[in-house]
Structure formats: C-alpha cells, structure tokens
Amino acid sequence: MHDGHSRPHFSFFPSHAASAASRGRGPARLAAAVTALSAILLTAGCGSSGTAAGSPEASASTAKGFPVTIDNCGVRTTYTKPPSRAVTIHQHPAELMLALGLKDRMAGTSYPDSAVLPALREDFASIPQLSKQAPSFEKVLDTDPDFVYGGYASAFAEKEGRSRKAFEDAGIDTYLNRENCAGKKGVTMQDTYTEIRTIGKIFGVSDRASALVSELRTRVDKASETVKDARDVSVFVYDSGDKSAFTAGGKGLGNELIRLAGGKNVFSDLDDVFGDVSWEQVVDRRPDVIAIYDYAGTGVAQKKKFLLSQPALADVPAIKNKRFVVLPLTDTLVGVRSADAVGDLARGLHPDSFK
C-alpha cells in the first residue's frame, strides 16, 4: 500500500519502488481552472449578509440552517453549527474547501501531494502546514480542531492512532472523501458534485457549493458536447507496471472521465477502481490512445520510453501512432479538479473537435 493513499501501486523502477512509502502525487497542469475558480472565490468571499467567511457574524448567520446530520462512510454525524477550525489530511480536501471560500475556517493542512491550483495557491500558503505527510494524532490535536477532513482512507489509519473513533472520543468531528466508500457501485462525476454540496452543507455555505457545482457541471457539459459527434476513441490507462500493467478499471472516476471526454476505457469491464492486466490483454484490445497517469516518482518520459520499447506492443495503434495523453493523477480524484480533466482528455482524444 502506498502510504497516504488508498490504492495499491506498483513500479518498474527499483529506486522508485524503494521510495514508494514517502512519495506524493505529481504536479497538476490545470491552468484552465484559474479564471473560473477565481470567479467562484470572489463570490464565495462574501456571505449573504456581506460578512467575512468564518467571522462571528457569518457563523451566527449560517448556523440558522442547523442542525445538519450527515451519513459518511458508515459514520453519522450531527452538526449543531458549522465547523470553525478544520484540518485537512491530503490536498484535494483542502482545495475543495478553499474553492468554497472557507480559508478562514481552516486551522491546518497536511500532505501536499501536487502543485496547488493556481487560483488557490495564495490562500493555501496562508494556512499552517502541519506535515508533509499525514500528521500524527497529537499534531492534529495541537491545532485545537473541531473537524478533520480526510482525502484517503489512510487519513484515519487506526494503526497510526488517527481512527475516526479516536477523533470522536476527543470531541472532534470527521469526514472522509466519499470516493473511499463508493464500493462496487463505482464513482462518477455525480460523486464530485455530491461531495461539494455535502461539504457546503456542513459548513453552512450551500449557496457557494451550488454555484461551484454549476460552474464545474457547465465545463464538463461543454467539453462533452464538443465531442458528442466524434467517434469514441479506445483508451488504455497506464498507471505503472512492467511484468503486468496497472490500469484504471470500470469503477473509478477515471473511467467516467474517459467516457465524458468521448472515449472508451478498454478495461471498463474490470470490476474495480484499479487492477492488474496482462500485456497480452492490452495488445488484444488495441487501444487508440494511451492515457498516462502522472505523479511523483517515475516520470512521464520514462513511462513513454518503456511502452515504446516493448516489442510486444509494437502493433498496438496507440504505440504505432505515438498517441499519448497525460493526466495528473490528482485530476482523477473526487474534488474540484475533475471537471478540467474532462476538457483536457477531450482535447487529447479529439483534437480536431477543438480547432
């Protein structure tokens, strides 16, 4: 298991494998998010009464919609008022909160695993960073939090003393990104929208959440509409692996992003979020494009070199035509990045549709 993350990971470079326990995600290229998210933040920065987010006046106002009861990954929590001192473990929860204008409700962040979205960098940098990886239970308690938001199941690792029960016993509410409890029903863009609305409800900023969801949905719909008449392009997701290929199955958000971008995941029949497949299966399914997941460790250039050097893959259309698209792994998570991933993928799969 990759420390800090819920998915297993395999590498074909020994030096990379040795550092697997401490690496983070790769930098994300999401320049398209800057303008739209900045607009949302300008709106989010003002409550309905014109008070600053997190101020006593704002808290008093937003508390009118409480109590709020949330069922999350098997844990039911009733909030009598919005949290005011939140700690995030992993980056995508922090970015989601910042996109909702909740900077002043955040007491700390941890585990920054990619380049922060440009529109959010200044706010992110203003919040104390507790740890480069998952902080200890004691380190979190030192911030006097009333809410802890985890991105991966490992945020609440019982063996490290950070179980949700431990936080509950300390009087601290917790929330785990819904992607970690999707089960066999799989993850879709609807989970992203629901996640945003749920956090908005917990913090008493449902209007901001609705505005953000509307903005993200508009971008997804625009990209999908642009490629609706184009032929579906078959896509093989290459995460890692040498003796076998570690790829995206049909239950993860990555599969949904490909579909919305006018593609078809050649391993959509794999009944899991991720899984290993044989290279013979890749050859048999003849993908038109290979989507490379980018994150820290083995670089994209190394992955391309490996794929292009395999004689068995020589007749695969994607290899023959050197058709690769690169997708930062953080873009495939339930959070504010996934909408832009649809547009980036659509452009990569159907460049002629965007001329």
Rounded to whole angstroms, how far apart are CA atoms 159 and 346?
41
CATH code, residues 230-354? 3.40.50.1980
Rounded to whole angstroms, how far apart are CA atoms 199 and 190?
14
Long-range contacts of 164-172, Cβ-Cβ distance < 8 Å, separation of 24 or more = 164/75, 166/137, 167/137, 167/140, 170/141, 171/146, 172/141, 172/145, 172/146, 172/147, 172/148
Domain boundaries, the chain: 33-219, 230-354
Question: What's the confidence (pLDDT) of residue 309?
Answer: 97
33-219: CATH topology is Rossmann fold (3.40.50)
Determine how β-strand 245-248 pairs with β-strand 129-131: unpaired
- How far is the CA of 95 from the CAs of 130, 205, 278, in angstroms? 16, 16, 36
Residue 66 CB neighbours (<10 A)? 15
- Topology match between the domains 33-219 and 230-354: yes
Strand residue runs (E) in 286-354: 289-294, 324-328
Q: Along the 355 residues of the chain, how does pLDDT read in single tens digits?
A: 334 344 544 444 433 332 233 233 333 334 444 445 555 454 444 433 333 444 444 444 447 789 999 999 999 999 999 999 999 999 999 999 999 999 999 999 999 878 899 999 999 999 999 999 999 999 999 999 999 999 999 999 999 999 999 999 999 999 999 999 988 789 999 999 999 999 999 999 999 999 999 999 999 999 999 999 999 999 999 999 999 999 999 999 999 999 999 999 999 999 998 999 999 999 999 999 999 999 877 899 999 999 999 999 999 999 999 999 999 888 889 999 999 999 999 999 999 999 8
Phi, psi of 289 (to 5 degrees): -135, 145
Q: What is the pTM of this model?
A: 0.82
Helix axis angle for 206-226 and 189-202, nearest 10°, is 170
- Cis amide prior to 287 (ω within 30 degrees): no
- How far is the CA of 287 from the CAs of 145, 231, 233, 351, in angstroms? 48, 13, 8, 17
* Nearest residue to 335 (alpha-carbon basis) of 146, 184, 185, 198: 198
Three-state secondary structure string covering 139-195: HHHCCCCCEEEECCHHHHCHHHCCCHHHHHHCCCEEEECHHHHCHHHCCCHHHHHHH
Determine how β-strand 233-238 pairs with β-strand 106-110: unpaired
Question: What's the confidence (pLDDT) of residue 182?
Answer: 85
